Amino acid sequence: MNCFEELTLRESPVVVQQHMPLDKYTTLRVGGPADYFAEPSSEEELSALLNAAKEAGIPVLLMGNGSNLLVRDGGFRGLVIRLSKAFSHIEQWEHGLKAQAGALLSVLACEAANASLTGLEFAQGIPGTVGGGVYMNAGAYGGELGKCIESVTVLDHDEVKRIPGSEMKFGYRHSRAMDEKWMVLGARFRLEKGDKEQIDAAMRDFAARRKEKQPLNYPSAGSFFKRPEGHFAGALIEKAGLKGKQVGGARVSEKHAGFLINAGGATASDFLALMRLVQDTVQRESGVLLEPEVRIVGDDP
Residues belonging to the active site: 173, 223, 293
Bridge partner residues of 155 (DSSP) = 160, 183
Residue type, 235: A
Q: How far is CA 130 from CA 203, 245, 267, 268, 291, in A?
A: 18, 33, 27, 25, 23
Q: Tell me which long-range contacts 140-145 makes (C-beta under 8 A, separation of at least 24).
A: 140/206, 141/206, 141/209, 143/119, 144/170, 145/105, 145/170, 145/187, 145/189
Decide: 189 and 153 in contact? Cβ < 8 Å.
no
With contact defined as beta carbons under 8 Å apart, do 170 and 164 qualify?
no
